[in-house]
């Protein structure tokens, strides 16, 4: 399994992803799922992937090596597309290309063509954006009402985002909430695990301010997990007992 989330708030973008991959429960490895594509000051993009690793790696190779330009000559890459929307389209085309190449044989082997991707960032002259792409190559864009998108094992980490994140949340707080969301997921699903990769890109800078891998045992994240567990226990203790039943 995988858990990745992107939060697009007024101050900028947070992207987070775990690194655990498994082909069966007895074949577990660490692979990077959060990738940075940056030309400092001109464009800063982050891409997180979930689903079949061979598909997502092929997609990343295609958008880096380039696909034939649809309406012109030469190739288009993630470093040459002029807008975020065009970047999402490029990734969608790459997904379809991989589906065309590998899809039938995968399905013949009983493997579903399963991939989903978060694309976030900003290209100079355009707005900061966050997209989620599906296995068909289509995509949706994150809005200000619900300023986050998730892929993979998204349910355990959704309650905290549902309740605490809005567009005016500051970038450091958004990062903290993303880490709490990741913690809830790790706690409830063994298939999601440390290390965790994080990227933050302040709006209108086209320059990541944080590109960091949180390893197991890192003091801040360890402390966050302990504090969050303690706070949850304290939170329910403070709620009165139900009036329906036997008193304690």
Q: Is 246 in the site for its own copies (CB under 8 A)?
A: yes
DSSP assignment string, 91-114: HHHHHHHHIIIIIHHHHHTT----
Q: Is 171 in the site for its own copies (CB under 8 A)?
A: yes
SS3 content of the chain, % helix, strand, coil (to 5): 35, 30, 40
- Structure tokens given for 115: 């991939």
Stretch that binds its own copies, among 44-52, 122-130, 136-144, 225-233 (CB under 8 A): 225-233
Phi and psi torsions of 32, nearest 5° = -70, 130
Per-residue mark of binding to its own copies, 143-162 (x: CB under 8 A): ------------xx-xxx-x
Q: Please, are residues 131 and 145 in contact by the beta-carbon 8 Å criterion? A: no
Q: Please, are residues 122 and 206 in contact by the beta-carbon 8 Å criterion? A: yes
Q: Please, are residues 35 and 211 in contact by the beta-carbon 8 Å criterion? A: no
Q: Is 39 in the site for its own copies (CB under 8 A)?
A: no
Sole binder of its own copies in the list 29, 75, 172, 204 (CB under 8 A): 172
Sole binder of its own copies in the list 4, 123, 149, 177 (CB under 8 A): 177
Residue with tokens 């969050």: 228
- Pick the closer one to its own copies by CB: 42 or 223: 223
Give contact residues for its own copies (rule: CB under 8 A): 155-156, 158-160, 162-164, 170-173, 175-177, 179-180, 184, 187-188, 198, 200, 202, 209-210, 212, 220, 223-224, 227-229, 231-236, 238-248
């Amino acid at each position: 399994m995988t858990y990745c989330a992107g939060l697009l708030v007024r101050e900028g973008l947070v992207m987070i992803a775990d690194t655990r991959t498994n082909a069966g429960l007895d074949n577990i490895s660490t692979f990077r799922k959060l990738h940075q594509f940056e030309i400092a000051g001109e464009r800063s993009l982050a891409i997180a992937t979930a689903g079949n690793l061979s598909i997502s790696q092929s997609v990343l190779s295609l958008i880096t090596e380039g696909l034939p330009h649809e309406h012109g000559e030469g190739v288009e890459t993630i470093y040459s597309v002029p807008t975020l929307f065009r970047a999402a389209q490029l990734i969608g085309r790459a997904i379809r290309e991989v589906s065309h190449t590998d899809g039938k044989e995968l399905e013949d082997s009983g493997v579903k063509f399963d991939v989903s991707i978060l694309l976030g960032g900003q290209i100079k002259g355009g707005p900061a954006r966050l997209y989620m792409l599906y296995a068909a190559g289509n995509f949706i864009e994150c809005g200000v009402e619900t300023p986050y998108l998730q892929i993979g094992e998204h349910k355990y980490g959704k309650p905290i985002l549902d309740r605490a994140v809005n567009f005016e949340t500051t970038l450091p707080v958004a990062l903290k909430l993303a880490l709490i969301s990741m913690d809830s997921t790790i706690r409830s699903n063994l298939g999601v695990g440390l290390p965790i990769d994080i990227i933050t890109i302040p709006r209108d800078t086209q320059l990541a301010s944080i590109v960091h891998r949180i390893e197991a045992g890192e003091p801040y994240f360890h402390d966050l997990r302990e504090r969050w567990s303690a706070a949850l226990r304290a939170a329910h203790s403070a709620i009165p007992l139900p009036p329906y039943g036997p008193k304690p």
